[in-house]
Amino acid sequence: MQYFKKTSHTKYDCTYHIIWITKYRYPVLVGDIAVKARDLIRRICEENHTEIIRGTVAKDHIHVYVSAPPYISISKLVQTLKGKSSRIIQQTFPELRKRYWGSHFWAIGYFAKTVGTVSDEMIKEYLENHDKDEKFGNFQIEQ
């Protein structure tokens, strides 16, 4: 059985696999810095009503598999995760200023993939076999 989350007017299952790296891929996410990064990401996700299903803090990157509500865009979520965690990590660990002059701890960009239980083939098959009307090609209006 599939587990859906709900808000006052919505049931949803929006899951994403997100990866981002440290600037220059320096392997600085070790020891206390890794623990602080993990705790910050947990707190920021909680504040944004986002559940971490799985996650990994590697030496130079972070993987998180999250379930986020549909009213939060993935770009806004990543912006919040990277921005808040970068600022607090650099304030907490001033020794990082030697490596990261300026205010950037994370590299620009990220990887995000939606994760779901319905494959592309299942959607195509449904659309192809659902009250097919050749007159309008592959884009139809159900009557």
Closest C-alpha among 19, 11, 16, 20 to residue 74:
16
pLDDT tens across 105-127, in order?
Answer: 999 999 999 977 766 676 667 65
Whether residue 92 has pLDDT greater than 70: yes
126 given a catalytic annotation: yes
Angle separating helix axes 74-92 and 31-47, nearest 10 degrees: 140
Above 60 in pLDDT, residue 128? yes
What pLDDT does 136 receive? 47
Q: Between β-strands 61-67 and 51-57, what pairing exists: parallel, antiparallel or unpaired?
A: antiparallel
Query: Is the predicted pLDDT of residue 133 greater than 70, yes or no?
Result: no
Local structure of residue 120 (DSSP, 8 states): H
pTM, two decimals, is 0.80
**Domains, the chain, ordered by start:** 5-117 (3.30.70.1290)
**pLDDT at residue 78, rounded to an integer:** 98
Q: How many CB atoms lie within 10 A of CB 82?
A: 22
pLDDT interval class at 96 (50, 70, 90): very high
Say if residue 63's pLDDT is above 70: yes
Task: Output the average pLDDT for the chain.
Answer: 85
Question: One of 3, 26, 65, 126 is an active-site residue; which one?
Answer: 126
Q: Which two tokens stand for residue 98?
A: 């030697």
